[in-house]
Structures are given as C-alpha cells and as structure tokens.
Amino acid sequence: MTSTVPAEQSSESKKDLSTEEHEDFRLFGLIAFLIADGMTFAGFFAAYLTFKAVNPIGPDAIYELELPLPTLNTVLLLVSSFTFHRAGKFLEKNESKQCQKWLLITGALGVAFLISQMFEYFTLPFGLTDNLFASTFYALTGFHGLHVTLGSIMIMIIWWQTRIPYGRVNNENKFPFEAVELYWHFVDGIWVILFIILYLL
C-alpha cells in the first residue's frame, strides 16, 4: 500500500495540488500577536488585582483618582473606533478623500487621548514611586499609552498611504489598513477593561 504520492506520479495531473498559492494569513498572524500582547496586559491586571486584594494601602499613602477625565478618555477612544470603522467603509467604496478625512479624525482623537492622559498625569496628587498603587497605575496606563502612541503613528502612516494617486493602501491592498484597524480596536478594548479595573473597581 502506498501511503505517499511521489512527485513523479502526480506531476502529470493538471491541477496543481501543492501550495504554490495560499490564502493571505497575515491577519491571522496579527491576531496571534494581539493575543500575546493581551496576555501581557492580563499579567499586569492580575498583578494589580492581587495587590489590591492582599496589600493594604498605607495610612499616609495618597491614591485618589478623579473620574471625569478618564471618562472623557473612554469616550474619545470609543468614538475613534467608530470613526476608524467609518474610514474603512469609505475605503471599500474607493472614496479615498472621505477615507482620509475619517482617518485624520481618528488620529486626532488618538492624540487628544494622549494629551488628556498627560494632563491627568500632571494633575494627579501622586508620583510614580509614591506607593504601590501609584506605581501600578502609572505602569498600566503608561503601557497602554505606549500602545496608543504607536497606534496613532500607524494611523498617520495609513492616512499618508491612502492619498491619491501615490498612496499604496487602497481597496486592492487593504491589509495594512485592516491590520491597524484591528490593532486600534484591540487597544480600545484594553482601555475599557483598564478603565473598569483601575477607576471603577
């Protein structure tokens, strides 16, 4: 019984069975990466929740968070997810001008988030090394802010690359757009979890 089909036998068949072409699985790879990235956040969240459960906050330690600014931040990011989606719809319809407009709005919202976050940092009554919770707060929001910064830069690159006629991202070559969009939604989702855990719990 032959369990293998040697190359000589099957080379005559007209239909090419080997993997000369394959589907685009770059998005699959990105999803695997985002799962890994999400696990980094999961580790941070687990550390924070354990600290909260077992380490009592010191009597003279200052750790107070105001809600209005982070709520505004949440709204900014959620709206930016929506505007990014909107830009994608226009990209599919080959309306690059509209797509670029919505991308610019998305990028602006990302930058607005970062400015607002910086403003919060400067107005908080505690610094990085003041106490355990202060350190964890800055580590978590800082790591997330790093993601937003990278995302904003990538949105600007995509914005530049969707220009007509020289841009390389269009309806035919959509992967860079989709990748950044997925990443941006991921960063938004992480923020929502972070908002709930850090500010609301």
Structure tokens at 189: 């989702």
- Of 8-16, 94-102, 116-124, 184-192: span binding other proteins (CB under 8 A): 8-16
d(CA 10, CA 15): 9
Tell me, rounded to whole angstroms, the distance of Cα 177 from its chain centroid: 13
Residue 13, Cβ neighbours under 10 Å: how many?
9
Q: Which helix (H) or strand (E) holds 51?
A: helix 26-54
- Judge if the upstream peptide bond of residue 6 is cis by omega within 30 degrees of 0: no
d(CA 179, CA 12): 40
- 1 touches other proteins (CB under 8 A): yes
Give residues 47-106 in contact with other proteins (rule: CB under 8 A): 47, 50-51, 54-55, 58, 61
Dihedral of CA atoms 69, 103, 186, 85 in degrees, nearest 10, equals 110
How near is the Cβ of 112 to other proteins at its closest, in Å?
Answer: 27
Contact track, other proteins, 96-135, x by CB under 8 A: --------------------------------xx-xx--x
Phi-psi region at 57: left, alpha or beta (left = phi > 0; alpha = psi -120 to 50):
beta
- Of 12-20, 147-155, 162-170, 193-201: span binding other proteins (CB under 8 A): 12-20
How near is the Cβ of 128 to other proteins at its closest, in Å?
Answer: 6
- Of 29-37, 85-93, 112-120, 151-159: span binding other proteins (CB under 8 A): 29-37
The binding site for other proteins (CB under 8 A) comprises 1, 3-8, 10-11, 16-26, 28-29, 32-33, 35-44, 46-47, 50-51, 54-55, 58, 61, 128-129, 131-132, 135-136, 139, 143
